[in-house]
Amino acid sequence: MDDKFVITIGRQFGSCGKEVGQELAKRFGIEFYDKKLITLASKESGLCQEFFEKADEKNSGNLLQAFAAGFTFGPFQYNDFLSNDKLFQIQSDVIRKVASEHSCVIVGRCADYILRDNKRCINVFIHASMEERVKTVMNRQQITEQEAHEMIRKMDKTRPNYYNFYSDKEWGVASSYHLSVDSSLLGVGATVDFIEEFVKKALKD
């Protein structure tokens, strides 16, 4: 595949979507973007990275609450000069820029919607059973089963709210993506194998 292409990955918290994305990027020899986009958005805009970290994958209403503590930038209060939608727009511009420059894998951040006009963009959603998600979160965060359930519950509200607010699609619904995969059935390695083959066939000229 000579032409640039993009793989976007939406994912449930604890489904190993990030790990799948990282391995896909390695397989194809392309760039991987996750929280790295926050750093790029900060550099491109000249704004403090903390703005983007607080806003990361949170919907507009939550962003106002996140900044209610009064973060400042120079002599200005946050809401004096910067809207929540503006932060999303800045990050959207960065996503479109990296997609135009080179092939890459982008995890989250409404990338599939932002790149909806890109004909060589394959959109994937990774989900998993609650049992496997709890195990993954417990191991990753070193927390109890109850704490893992609570963390998953919160993230299962935050991510859909952000996606549904900024896009005209519905988070996690199969019709919003080209491919939806249960990583708990195959494991990370075989899930990557499956997606890799799908992408190659989908982009074949």
Q: Give the model confidence (pLDDT) of 130-167 as tens digits.
A: 999 999 999 999 999 999 999 999 999 988 988 999 99
The pTM of this model reads 0.85
Q: Is domain 6-202 in CATH 1.10.1660.10, yes or no?
A: no
Which residues fall within 8 angstroms of residue 34, CB to CB, at 6 or more apart?
Answer: 18, 21, 106, 107, 108
pLDDT digits (tens, 9 = 90+) for 12-62: 999 999 999 999 999 999 999 998 888 888 888 877 777 677 665 555 544
How is the chain split into domains, by residue range? Answer: 6-202
Tell me which residue of 26, 37, 5 sits closest to 188, measured CA to CA. 26
Residue 153: exposed, middle, or buried by beta-carbon count in 10 A (0-12, 13-18, 19+)? exposed
- 112 touches 177 (CB < 8 A): yes
The residue among 45 and 205 whose pLDDT is bigger is 45
Enter the tokens of residue 151.
């963390």
Q: What pLDDT, on the 0 to 100 scale, is given for residue 39?
A: 82
Backbone angles phi, psi at 109, to 5 degrees: 60, 30
Residues of the chain above pLDDT 90, percent: 67
- 201 touches 30 (CB < 8 A): no
Q: What pLDDT, on the 0 to 100 scale, is given for residue 172?
A: 95
